[in-house]
């Protein structure tokens, strides 16, 4: 939201300067999603996250099957159990279901944390690279290709590949 407000303010301030200087305004674009996912560091993090997802899914699938088996066994033996035994087994099963749901939520939080950690480490470096490229190419404004609040702008330089190259060269950190 802050980025949208800043970009809008920048465009409006450029407009306020007047069209006499319009030829001096140069706008560039960066596909931040592509930089974050297709750079070497982004690809490595994505592979690590996908590996974690696969591992967690396997563990959770086994646990879910175990819970189904327990429920079937309980249903089968329910008529043979006393009221106290039934209540105890039901309570134990519900506790295991809660533990399973907690494990699933923990796995999701772990994945989100990994993504946030990568983003928080990568963004300052990427912004520095974009700033340097913008200065080198004498750009007035650089917008995110996917999230720009601009409905139309003349085609400007796409800095995405250069940003990815420099980010990869810097080791992605």
User: pLDDT of 5-55, one tens digit each?
Assistant: 444 544 545 454 444 455 678 888 899 999 999 999 889 999 999 999 999
Give Rg (Cα) of the chain: 26
> Cα–Cα distance between 28 and 162 in angstroms, integer?
12
- Please give the Cα distance from 48 to 56 (Å, whole number): 12
Q: Give tens-digit pLDDT for 72-124.
A: 988 888 888 889 998 998 999 999 999 999 999 999 999 999 999 999 999 99
Asked if CATH classification 3.30.930.10 holds for the domain at 2-169, the reply, yes or no, is no
C-alpha 173/C-alpha 162 separation (Å) is 16
What pLDDT is attached to residue 112?
93
Per-residue pLDDT, 20: 43
Q: Domains of the chain: which residue ranges? A: 2-169
- Contact present, 159 and 29 (Cβ < 8 Å): yes
DSSP state of 31: -
Q: Is residue 158 helix, strand or coil?
A: strand
**Predicted local distance difference test score (pLDDT) of residue 154:** 67
């Amino acid at each position: 939201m802050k980025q949208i407000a800043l970009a809008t303010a920048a465009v409006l301030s450029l407009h306020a300067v007047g069209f006499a200087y319009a030829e001096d305004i140069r706008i560039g674009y960066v596909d931040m999603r592509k930089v974050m996912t297709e750079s070497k560091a982004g690809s490595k993090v994505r592979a690590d996250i996908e590996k974690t997802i696969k591992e967690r899914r396997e563990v959770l699938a086994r646990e879910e099957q175990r819970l189904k088996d327990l429920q079937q066994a309980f249903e089968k033996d329910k008529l043979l159990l006393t009221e106290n035994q039934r209540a105890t087994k039901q309570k134990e099963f519900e506790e295991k279901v809660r533990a399973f749901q907690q494990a699933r939520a923990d796995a999701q939080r772990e994945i989100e944390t990994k993504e946030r950690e990568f983003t928080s480490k990568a963004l300052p470096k990427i912004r520095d690279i974009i700033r340097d490229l913008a200065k080198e190419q004498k750009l007035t404004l650089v917008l995110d290709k996917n999230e720009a609040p601009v409905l139309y702008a003349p085609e400007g330089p796409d800095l995405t590949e250069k940003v990815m190259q420099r980010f990869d060269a810097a080791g992605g950190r």
